[in-house]
């Protein structure tokens, strides 16, 4: 079973707002996003001028490059949402705060339990912690059932590191430029010198 990488609103907004959607897709392939993530991207693009470019690009990329996953009730989705939020799905869908990342994880878990190997792109710390717990749970399940798939976490940093030496980030100057622009949109990203983006051995391999 094939499942496109599932992206959260934060990284989606950031990469698209600085016109780096081609880098993102080149590194991860064709993408998917829950309907709640799409709603968050378009809402924030409308509210904040910094994210305004993301709306037009998002609309151009759907549905070919970004497939929208329905957040309509299914027993499988509801079970995961209830487990990770301790709330019925119908109640959780009423609150927009952090809803996108909740649904990213829920969709990924449902796909993994059906046998898919899924990449999720999340930068948020709490979302990452929740996803990590689900990854451990799936690993335990796989010991008893080899048909269970897996979830792999990706982040803005791992996407950028993968792009080292490509035409998207051919040198460290370009890395600094792209990262500075991303960080201007997301103060949750650490200073570049606190990352391995300039010291990764990938530079030596290119």
Per-residue pLDDT tens digits for 82-113? 999 999 999 999 998 889 999 999 999 999 99
> In sequence order, what are the residues at sequence separation of 6 or more whose Cβ sits closer than 8 angstroms to the Cβ of residue 35?
68, 69, 70, 71, 103
What's the full length of the chain, in residues?
Answer: 206
Q: Domain of 28?
A: 6-157
In a domain, 153, yes or no: yes
The answer to whether 146 and 11 have CB atoms below 8 angstroms apart is no
What is the number of structural domains in the chain?
Answer: 1
Angle formed at CA 181 by CA 178 and CA 182, multiple of 5 degrees: 85
Beta-carbon count within 10 A of 137 CB: 17
Per-residue pLDDT tens digits for 45-62? 999 999 999 999 999 999
In a domain, 188, yes or no: no
In a domain, 54, yes or no: yes
DSSP per-residue string spanning 94-114: T--TTHHHHHHHHHHHHHHHT
In a domain, 79, yes or no: yes
Mean pLDDT rounded to a whole number for the chain: 96
Report how far residue 195's alpha carbon sits from residue 41's, in angstroms, rounded to the nearest whole number: 26
pLDDT band at 162 (very low <50, low <70, confident <90, very high): very high
In a domain, 105, yes or no: yes
DSSP 34: E
Per-residue pLDDT tens digits for 167-201? 999 999 999 999 999 999 999 999 999 999 999 99
Mean pLDDT across 154-172: 97
pLDDT band at 2 (very low <50, low <70, confident <90, very high): confident
Report how far residue 102's alpha carbon sits from residue 81's, in angstroms, rounded to the nearest whole number: 7
In a domain, 1, yes or no: no
In a domain, 203, yes or no: no
Angle formed at CA 5 by CA 108 and CA 62, multiple of 5 degrees: 110
- pLDDT tops 90 at residue 145: yes
Report how far residue 21's alpha carbon sits from residue 12's, in angstroms, rounded to the nearest whole number: 8
Percent of the chain, pLDDT > 70? 99
Beta-carbon count within 10 A of 146 CB: 7
CATH number at residue 84: 3.40.50
Per-residue pLDDT tens digits for 12-49? 999 999 999 999 999 999 999 999 999 999 999 999 99
pTM summary value: 0.95
């Amino acid at each position: 079973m094939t499942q496109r990488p599932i992206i959260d609103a934060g990284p989606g907004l950031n990469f698209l707002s600085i016109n780096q959607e081609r880098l993102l897709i080149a590194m991860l392939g064709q993408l998917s996003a829950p309907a709640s993530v799409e709603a968050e991207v378009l809402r924030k693009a409308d509210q904040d001028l910094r994210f305004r470019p993301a709306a037009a690009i998002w609309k151009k990329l759907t549905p070919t490059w970004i497939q929208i996953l329905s957040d309509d009730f299914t027993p499988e989705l509801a079970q995961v949402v209830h487990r990770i939020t301790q709330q019925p799905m119908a109640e959780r869908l009423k609150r927009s705060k952090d809803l996108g990342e909740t649904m990213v994880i829920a969709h990924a878990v449902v796909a993994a339990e059906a046998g898919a190997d899924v990449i999720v792109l999340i930068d948020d710390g709490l979302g990452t912690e929740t996803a990590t717990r689900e990854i451990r749970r799936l690993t335990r399940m796989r010991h008893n059932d080899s048909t269970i798939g897996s979830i792999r976490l990706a982040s803005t940093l791992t996407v950028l590191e993968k792009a080292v030496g490509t035409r998207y980030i051919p040198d460290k100057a370009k890395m600094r430029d792209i990262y500075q622009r991303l960080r201007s949109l997301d103060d949750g990203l650490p200073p570049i010198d606190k990352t391995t983006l300039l010291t990764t051995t990938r530079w030596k391999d290119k």
